[in-house]
A and B are shown apart, each in its own frame.
Chain A
Amino acid sequence: MTRPWLLRDRRGAFGFLILSVFVACAIAAPLVTNGEPTVQRDIVATRFVPPLSRDVNGVFHPIGTDRFGRDVWTRLVYGARVSMGVGVLAVLVAVILGVVVGALAGYWRGPLSVTLLALTDFALALPRVVLLLLLAALWQPSTLLVVAVLGLTGWMGIARLVHGEVRSLAARPFVEGAVAVGARRLRILARHILPNALTPVIVAAALGVGNAIVLEAGLSYLGLGVQAPTPSWGNMITSGSDTLVNAPWVAIAPGVALVLVVVACTLLGDALRDVLDPNVRS
């Protein structure tokens, strides 16, 4: 139902197209690449092959090879799986936490609500990057930890949004109607209020995915995120930064991919906000 609207918006169509291409490539990774993102062959003979050329064995490399002779295109596509997967999962964690906290705080007044709101405000005031650095540096860095850390530091904005929506929806006539027919509170919250409160959450999630991908790359850039040899766009930029002079393409390619995906998420979020908001549509 929303799709025609979304695609009629140029920003939405562009964002959707870019993300579709990236997701399709990531899913079909073994088909569109050589399928071996971490395999190293004769390093000296195959390293630093420039883009659009063949190595000594006659293998074609669309964006060249890195210092270990690994195909950058293959690593980019497999890195998309990791980076985009981490981004989406982290936002999923943040959305679940944010919706639960926001809905509880918005629907049950009293000490629970006060406590949850105070907790949200406190978490919102935490310096996120410092916290990320701490959490990522202190435990053994791993992909799962990055997801948890990004999710645990990203739910507050969504909790606030949901809290506001739930509070205003709870006073609407259709909710009073549900109360009058004797529906249980949890059922009213889950069936009547939450579905109506999810619009801003979808927008925030679209914007959040881009943000999470950038932060994951930042952590990996500092050596605290996804660990080599598993390719992620962040650690590809790091390894490319060491060889910036003789093989700039190793750092350029993952950065361009990152910017494209983040821009696509932002545009999609902007378009979704305009499309899903009935005030703007009419």
Chain B
Amino acid sequence: MLARLGHRLLAGFAVVLGVVTLTFLLLHAAPGDPVDILLGPTATAEQLAAQRRALGLDEPLPRQFARWVGRSARGDWGTSIATGQPVAVMLGNAWPATARLVVLSLILSYLIGLAVGALQAARSGSRLDTLLSVASVTLFGIPGYWLGLMLVLVFTYWARLLPAFGIAGLDSDYLQGTSLLVDRLRHLALPLVTLTLIGIGGAARFVRGAMLETLSQPFITTAWAKGLTARRVVGRHALRNALTPVVILLGLSLPALFSGAVFVETVFAWPGVGRVLVEAVKARDYPVVMAATAVSAALVVAGNVLADVLAAWLDPRVRSGEAAQ
């Protein structure tokens, strides 16, 4: 198991390095550079050249890349070209906001998705099952940014209940205790609901499939034959065994949720990593794009490894390598 984990981590490291190299090449192969955007169209050729020299952009590409790798290996992500802030500080400030959003919506959408999917499988073929299937397919198909806009339209513009933008109100510096918490929660509500609703669609669809497959197994027939109640058969026998693929999907959906967050953060002006990335890409802010890409690639790898570890923990067959065959 440990050897396998080590192997996976090594492969993951190679992937992150590959992504970073690819990003570097793409950034430099594309026409235009951050200096053009920084200095604007009125800058003279001398000004552009001086700025490029100051940022080290006139050096050969391999040397620039080697310098970036060397620095970031020592924990120095460099300084943003567009904002002048250290990249580590920018990402450090943005990271908690994204984590709060993604982790909470991951938990909520899987809990609800699990309940909905299990209910559907238990009542398979009923009118309720059809209704919930239609609902989950629809949620699965809705683009996050559009759902976000619609929620803003209903809850902010029409009902005037919830704020649509940002992570805190303008007066949040003067709030304390409960009112501060309420302010934060009110700002969290719409982005969280948007991400969660979309997550529920996928989770419920998947859980329903996994549950139906488990419910058709012989050991379930045995459980019924023993005269166990429906609650025990579905809840204890089927759900537990259907959980393995669901947990694996949970690990794999971490990066997907992060991508979803990129769009949702843009809609709600949520100051997270996704928004930092979008802004940086538009401004050709090389150091920020490189760092944010490295982080998101690491997240993909972490999700894969996490899924692997969780599967081994839940299923003894995976641990002993049987299921791998």
List residues of A whose CB falls within 8 A of some B CB.
Answer: 122, 125-130, 133-135, 137-140, 210, 214, 217-218, 221-222, 237, 240-241, 244-245, 248, 251-252, 255, 258-259, 262-263, 265-267
Contact = CB atoms under 8 A, between A and B. Distances in A.
Contacts of B266: 221-222
**Which of B19, B138, B146, B153 has the most C-beta atoms of chain A within 10 angstroms of its own C-beta?**
B146
B318 interface: no
A125 B304 contact: yes
Contacts of A267: 137
Nearest to B134: A263
B68 interface: no
A80 to B, nearest CB: 16
Contact of B297 (A125, A221, A237): A125
Interface residues of B, number: 46
Given A244-B153, A259-B142, 7 more contacts: A127-B299, A128-B259, A133-B278, A138-B284, A218-B145, A222-B278, A255-B142
Given A210-B141, A217-B143, A127 B149 contact: no
A129 B262 contact: yes
Contact of A218 (B31, B143, B258): B143
B141 A255 contact: no
B277 interface: yes
A154 B157 CA distance: 38
Nearest to A265: B141
Nearest to B262: A129
A263 B263 contact: no
A127 B150 contact: no
Contacts of B27: 134, 138
Interface string B106-124: 0000000000000000000
Q: Secondary structure at chain A's binding surface: helix, strand, loop or mixed?
A: helix
Interface in B1-51: 12, 15, 18-19, 22-23, 26-27, 29-32
B15 A266 contact: no
B299 to A, nearest CB: 8
B255 interface: yes
A127 B143 contact: no
Contacts of A258: 141, 143, 146
Given A218-B263, A266-B140, A125 B301 contact: yes
Nearest to B281: A137
Interface string B280-301: 0110100001001100110111
Contacts of B146: 217, 237, 251, 255, 258-259
B137 A130 contact: no
A251 B152 CA distance: 12
A129 B259 contact: yes
A269 B299 CA distance: 30
User: Looking at B145, B277, B297, which has the most chain A CB atoms within 10 Å of its CB?
Assistant: B145
Contacts of B18: 122
A22 to B, nearest CB: 14
A248 B262 contact: no
A237 B145 contact: yes
A251 B149 contact: yes
Given A133-B277, A245-B157, A252-B150, A214 B255 contact: no
B106 to A, nearest CB: 17
A73 to B, nearest CB: 18
A69 B200 CA distance: 38
Contact of B30 (A128, A129, A138): A138
Contacts of B142: 255, 259, 262
Contact of B31 (A126, A128, A139): A139
B297 A127 contact: yes
Contacts of B262: 129-130, 133
B10 to A, nearest CB: 13
A218 to B, nearest CB: 6
